[in-house]
Structure formats: structure tokens, C-alpha cells
Chains A and B, each alone.
Chain A
Amino acid sequence: MTVTISEDLKAESKNLNFYYGALHSLKNVNLPIARRRVTALIGPSGCGKTTFLRCFNRMHDLYPHNRYEGEIIIYPEKLNIISPSVDPIEIRMQISMVFQKPNPFPKSIYENVAYGLRVRGVKKKGLIDEAVEKSLRGSALWDEVKDRLNNSAFDLSGGQQQRLCIARALATDPRILLFDEPTSALDPTATSKIEELIIELKNEVTIIIVTHNMQQAARVSDYTAFMYLGEIIEFDKTDKIFTAPSNKLTEEYITGRFG
């Protein structure tokens, strides 16, 4: 299905197909991503939502035998980021990702956040200091860690580690932030903190979030896409999807009858 929305677009996938070797796991995916909005991808396990998310920062390029077809366009440049002529490293520098399990590096809190700048070759301490503070404030972690920036990131709790990973992703000023089930390994308190953060962050950055938790999608997102077997079954404003879905399958999924 093709959908149009009346807002500014940050990205758009057009006839996107993706193959893990011979396995055709995304089928003609068309989806607009509104600028500075949260778009949620929901659907049962194996429906392709994470596969789709990982196309946006070319994570699939890390493994052999993966193949993209079609386009993911980012605006305003109208650049097709999955074209083989585009360097995945360039894309990952602009589109950051937060993973399912907090994955801080075996470094200090400070160095974790500074990592993205360091790999870009930024050397000026003043610049890095500034970015580290700004990102930690952005991820609501600054007050908790400002006195122990040189401690190991592993000293933090799981929820704090995930907010550290968000800070790490923010430090390079990404254009799009991808969240892959960011709260599935966290307790309810840590989860609600991350959710508040996502709602706040959308003022500055376009967000795509994959979630298993339908309440979470309803709470944080502006748009929701329901995926099933590698296809987008329904896409609409989140309110509409959760109150009056037009597809039977969507309705069955959000009311918990399958998935």
C-alpha cells in the first residue's frame, strides 16, 4: 500500500525489498517518515520491523549475502541511502541507532559519549567536553553522572546504560535516531524515563522506533506502521491506528488476538 501524509518528510522508503540471502524479508515497503515526529513500527516477531529499521543505517552491510532493492530517500537532499554508491559509514554518521540491549563500550562514561566524535577525528577537548555535556543533558543522565564521568560505563544501571547509549547516539547530532526495542531489557521505571525522553527528543530529531509493546507505541509515537510478514499492512496516525484501524489484521494484532 502507498500512503501519503501532509507533513514535511525526513525520509521515505519506496518499493523497498530486502533479502537475507535467498530469504525475501521485506516486500515492497513504502513508508513516509515525518520530520521531527516519532514513527513506530509494530508487528509480531519476525514481521521484518527490525530488518526495516536496520536498513536506515545500513547495518545489513556488515554481514555478507544481504541485498537491498528499491530506495530509502532522505530529505532535503533526496539522497537514496541504500544505493551501493553511498558509503554506509557516511550514512551511519548521520543516522544513529539505539539497540535493544544497552551496549556501552568498555570505556568511561565520558569516552562512551565522545566515541562518535573521536571516530570522526575530532580532537579539540573543548568541543568534545561540550558535546558530552549537551548529549548527557539531552538524555537526562547528566545530573546522575556529572561527578563520575571517568567511571566505567559498566558501573551504571541498565536504564542508565541505555540512556548513555542514547547520549552516545545524540553526541554526533544525528538527523534521524533509530530505536530498536530500546526498553525491552529494562524495568518499568527505566522504561518510562526512556519514553519521556523519546517524546522530548522529537523536538530536535526525527525518530523511528521498533517496539513490541503496543502501549509504548501508543504513548510515544505520532505515526504507526503495522507490519506483517515483511509487508506494511497499515500505516496511519497513531491515534487512528489504535482507535479505528481500517485493516482487520491490524485490529486483531492491537487487540491482542495474535502476535
Chain B
Amino acid sequence: MKKSAQKIRERIIETGLFLSAVSSVFITLGIVIILAYESFGFFMAVPVTEFLTGTVWTPLFADPRFGILPLVSGTLLITSIALSVALPVGLISAIYLSEYAPHRLRETIKPVLELLAAVPTVVYGYFALLFLTPLLQELLPDLSGFNAISPGIIMGVMIVPYVSSVSEDAMKAVPMYIREGSYAMGATKLQTAFKVVIPAAFSGIAAAFIMGISRAIGETMVVAIAAGMMPNFTFNPMEPVQTLTSYIVQVSLGDVPHGTIEYKTIFAAGMTLFLMTLFFNIIGFWLRKRIREAY
């Protein structure tokens, strides 16, 4: 009698654990279904070819045009600027913290670096608009007040702690006896870091990079404030641009009636964003599987 009561209790606990584990799966599924459903409505009105190849995005104009390329180019442009700051700086900080910094210095720097991630993104946005852009204008007089480069750089700085923290954890997890093997061959610290520790921590570093990329693509506030909300099919970092995310903000903030084609553009843009992030996550997953090192 007592035994079966215990069994039931075990069952209840197990079911509870299972439900919390699958809840995130269901939420993700729900989001995908809504995105797909609403974008389907959008593509009933706008041909996919026009959406994918059009270079003008003016869905709110009297003569609407629905070419997503300006938003994609804006997103990719700002993402690449951000990553060209975040990946090298993040990786180098991680190497320094994991391989070189004395224990006490690391314990001081790491929390400060992680504090960068705690600054609200809206602060970063205004920092880009009101501080970095005027500063850059001193160097580049042609730079327009809204542009891609300034929010790109600031977004890069914002992502550094994510990249460095995850990469550093991966490098710290490389067992000391692997490093000793390298030192015992007469390798220097730098050789050990680059030839042994980084390859050994590769899957973790790749995960950090992919996380950084996904964050850069999805980042909204900084670009909404400082990049100019101008769907502009260009790869010139000096010009104002609009990203997929900042377009979604713009439309969501306005008074677009529910169910209209303008309303549905939000979901089409959201779907595009989702597929781009998914693509990078799949690459990351594949990379991790391919170059996985087990200890």
C-alpha cells in the first residue's frame, strides 16, 4: 500500500519535471506556428519573389513596395560591424583571462566585463547616437547623423562580454594536463593557447560566436535609436539603414490596423529574422558536432 503511494508520488514528480522541460518546446512551436500562419496571409497578397528580390521596402506608403532586401542588408551590415568588434575583442579577452591573467586580476576583471551586459540596451542606443556618432563625425565629416557604423560598433562592445565569458568558460574547462603536455614539449604560453587550448575549446568558442551572431541579428534597441529607421539597400556603413528588428518596432509602435497587409509585414519580417537566426544556430550545431572533442 505504502509502496504504491510512493510510486504515484514519483510519477507526479516525474510528470512535473517533464512538463517544465517541454514547455519551452511548446512555446517555441507556438511562436513558429503564429509566425508561419500570419506570414502565409502576407504571402497570399505579396508574391514571394517580389518579397525576396525587391530592393524597395515601403509598406506604409500609399504605393507600397514589399522588397525585404533593404532590411536584410541593413541587418547584415550592422551585424558584421558588430561582430568585427565583438569576436576578436571577445576572444582575445577570453584568452587573456583564461591563460594569462593572475587569479586576482581575473576575479576583478571578469565581473566588470560582465557588467557591460547589464547596461540596458537603450542606454547603449543613446550612447551611440549622442556620443559615438558625433565623435566619428569629427573623423568622417560625411557621416550622416544616423548611420550603420556607430550602432554597429556599440553593439559589438555590448556583445563582447557574451563572447568572452562563454569562450573563457570553454577554455578554462580544458584540463590542465592537456596544457602541461604542450608545455612539456617546449611550447610557449602563446603557442599553447593558440595551438592546443583554442582547438580543444573549439566547440565552446563556436557556441560563443554563434550566440554573439544571433544576439547581433536580434538586437533591436540600439539600431532603432541610432541607425535611422531608413530602409536603405546599401552596404555603406556611413548611411542610415533599418534592420528587420527596428522595422518591427517601428510598425508595432504605430497604429496599423489589425489584419491589414501592413500589419502582416511584421510577421513576414519576423519570419525572415527567425530563419536567419535559425540558420546560424544550425551552423553552430553542425560545427559543434563536427569538431567536438571529448575528454
Q: Which residues of A contact B (CB under 8 A)?
A: 57, 59, 62, 64, 89-90, 92-93, 96-97, 99-101, 103-107, 115-116, 118-120, 154, 165, 168-169, 172
Q: How far is the CA of A103 from the CA of B293 in the complex (A)?
A: 12
Q: Who on chain A is nearest to B103 by CB?
A: A64
| Beta-carbon contact of A105 and B184 below 8 Å | no
Q: Which residues of A contact B202 (CB under 8 A)?
A: 106
Tally of B interface residues using CB under 8 Å: 21
| Beta-carbon contact of B182 and A105 below 8 Å | yes
| Beta-carbon contact of B183 and A118 below 8 Å | no
Q: Which residues of B contact A165 (CB under 8 A)?
A: 181
Give min CB distance, B295 to chain A, whole Å. 9
Q: Which residues of B contact A93 (CB under 8 A)?
A: 185-186
Q: How far is the CA of A62 from the CA of B177 in the complex (A)?
A: 12
Q: Mark B190-205, 1 if CB is under 8 A from A, else 0.
A: 0100011001101000
Q: Which residues of B contact A115 (CB under 8 A)?
A: 182, 185, 187, 195
| Beta-carbon contact of B186 and A99 below 8 Å | no
Q: Which residues of B contact A107 (CB under 8 A)?
A: 199
Give min CB distance, B21 to chain A, whole Å. 31
Contact pick for B186, options A64, A92, A104, CB 8 Å: A92
| Beta-carbon contact of A103 and B177 below 8 Å | yes
Interface status of B294 (Cβ within 8 A of chain A): yes
Q: Which residues of B contact A90 (CB under 8 A)?
A: 186
| Contact (A168, B294) CB under 8 Å given A62-B180, A105-B196, A106-B202 | no
Q: How far is the CA of A90 from the CA of B183 in the complex (A)?
A: 11
Q: Which residues of A contact B196 (CB under 8 A)?
A: 105-106
| Beta-carbon contact of A154 and B293 below 8 Å | yes
| Beta-carbon contact of B177 and A172 below 8 Å | no
Question: Can you add 16 more A-B contacts, CB < 8 Å, to A93-B186, A106-B200, A168-B185?
Answer: A92-B186, A97-B184, A101-B177, A103-B178, A103-B180, A105-B181, A105-B196, A105-B199, A106-B199, A107-B199, A115-B195, A119-B186, A119-B187, A120-B186, A154-B293, A169-B185
